[in-house]
Amino acid sequence: MADIPKIEIRNVGRIFRKRGVNEDFHALSDFSLTVREGEFVTIVGPSGCGKSTLLDVLVGLSEANEGEVLIDGRPVHGPALDRGIILQGYALFPWRSVRKNIEFGLEIKRVPKKERAERASRFIKLVGLEGFENHYPFELSGGMQQRVAIARSLAFDPEVLFMDEPFAAVDAQTREAMQDELLSIWEKTGKTILFVTHSIEEAVGLADRVAVMSKSPGRVKEIVEVGLPRPRRVSQVRDTTDFNVITHRVWELLQDKPPESLKVRQPGMDIGEAILPDAII
């Protein structure tokens, strides 16, 4: 199905009625984005620009008021297990062990017990939690809990994975380790990932393309091609010139300033300004 985009978001609008006020609030307006099969796309935008609202629509937790969302060419209406979602909080069941948390989706899908156990073991290994199978969430660090959440989503083999600031609550060092782990899992599984963040570094470090959102009402302001080499580790690209050029470009877009990039793309500019390659525009 190479010709059909994996995810197609067409002119999506989401309108909330303000409580007690006879006035509509557009959280999203004319949001369009197309994601190819196996692609890793990040969406970056300021707090309150509508990122979580968009993900709710994409996973079918709420319905768009305008436009439509297609996955594999089929319109999204309501939640389904072919779309995994990983949220900012880990949303683990505190009374279930690591293994039982990971098996949860498989139980709902009525996967037989033996296969459940095998699949859970595979994903426990993939996210590096061997030896912690029988631990409970309260016995794990934030990073480990997030890995359980990732394993749980991957275990029921979703076609696409939607992630809403999944590493926002972990410390900086763990966050980078988790980013690299996610990249490694993505390389091994070939899943299509749409990942929302307000961190520019995270958005650029992970993605094939970064969709930069405008302030509320959220829409795609510009899509930045990242083009950093694959396989990639955020820890290895973080200090490179290319990485800094691209993050600067995204930063500029988020500033809502007149595009300095138009200036820096002129030939013969000063060093530091002239280095912005056309490839990322």
Ligand X SMILES: Nc1ncnc2c1ncn2[C@@H]1O[C@H](COP(=O)(O)OP(=O)(O)O)[C@@H](O)[C@H]1O
**In the complex, which residues of this chain contact ligand X (CB under 6 A)?**
16, 27, 45, 47-53, 216
> 50 vs 137, which CB is nearer to ligand X?
50
Q: How far is the CB of 212 from Mg ion (least distance, A)?
A: 16
Q: Which of residues 60-99 bind Mg ion (CB under 5 A)?
A: none
Do residues 191 and 215 lie in contact, with contact meaning Cβ atoms separated by under 8 Å?
no
Which option in Mg ion, ligand X, none does residue 92 bind, with CB closer than 5 to 8 A by kind? none
Backbone angles phi, psi at 271, to 5 degrees: -60, 145
Of 15, 34, 46, 52, which lies in the binding site for Mg ion, with binding defined by CB under 5 A? 52
DSSP 171-233: -HHHHHHHHHHHHHHHHHH--EEEEEES-HHHHHHH-SEEEEEPSSSB-EEEEEE----SS--
- Shortest distance in whole angstroms from residue 54 CB to ligand X: 7
Tokens 């033996």 belong to residue: 114
Backbone angles phi, psi at 147, to 5 degrees: -65, -35
Pick 61 or 108: Cβ nearer Mg ion: 61
- Nearest residue to Mg ion, by Cβ distance, number only: 52
> Between residues 46 and 128, which has the closer beta carbon with respect to ligand X?
46
Residue type at 209 in one-letter notation:
R
Work out how close the CB of 53 gets to ligand X at its nearest, in angstroms, rounded to a whole number.
3
Interacting stretch for Mg ion, rule CB under 5 A, among 44-52, 120-128, 138-146, 259-267? 44-52
Ramachandran area for residue 128 (φ above 0: left; ψ -120 to 50: alpha; else beta): left
Q: Which is nearer to ligand X, 51 or 249 (CB)?
A: 51
Q: Which of these segments, 12-20, 50-58, 147-155, 268-276, binds Mg ion (CB under 5 A)?
A: 50-58
Q: CA-CA distance, 225 to 233, in Å (whole number)?
A: 17
